[in-house]
Amino acid sequence: MTFKLFRQSIESTLSGAILKLDKYLYKKQGEYNEKALIVIDVQNDYFPNGSFSLWNTETVLTNIERAIQTATEKNIPVIHVQHVADKSRGMSPFFNEGTEGVQVHSRIMASAPNSPVVVKHAADSFMKQI
């Protein structure tokens, strides 16, 4: 999928972040990068001591770090997607704004510190939100 199509598919969902992504992904007039690494929901709540700790997280974390390193070496943009629970729906079991658990894991941020972070408020990164 080209970034022009990616941009169109998420524009209504993430409209506040589109200008930031455009600047990051735009190569020159009318041309977008054809590839990017999109790192979705690698947040503290999924790791040990988080609110929803998952299995085998160290291996997953190491693999994502390698993927980011490879993308960086090949000049492929990296985009972080962060899930922040929608406060209007009440307290969530995890990913609540202002908590340590909602933060993108520090090792991931250290691997791509200048990459944009797109915030979403639904589990599906590509769902149109109304």
Q: What is the pLDDT of residues 89-112, one digit of tens each?
A: 877 889 999 999 999 999 999 999
The answer to whether residue 7 sits within a structural domain is no
The answer to whether residue 92 sits within a structural domain is yes
The answer to whether residue 16 sits within a structural domain is no
The answer to whether residue 81 sits within a structural domain is yes
Q: Of 52 and 16, which is predicted with more confidence?
A: 52
Q: Say what the pLDDT of residue 92 is.
A: 85
Q: From CA 130, how far away is CA 123, in angstroms rounded? A: 14
Least Cα distance to 112 among 18, 27, 42, 22 occurs for 42
The answer to whether residue 109 sits within a structural domain is yes
pLDDT per position as a tens digit, 2-22: 445 444 444 444 444 444 555
- Residue 63 structure tokens: 């693999």
Residues of the chain with pLDDT > 70: what percent? 71
Question: How many folded domains does the chain comprise?
Answer: 1
> Domain range for residue 86?
33-120
Q: Could you tell me the end-to-end alpha-carbon distance of the chain, in angstroms, rounded to an integer?
A: 24
The answer to whether residue 8 sits within a structural domain is no
The answer to whether residue 11 sits within a structural domain is no
Sign of CA pseudo-dihedral 33, 14, 44, 104: positive
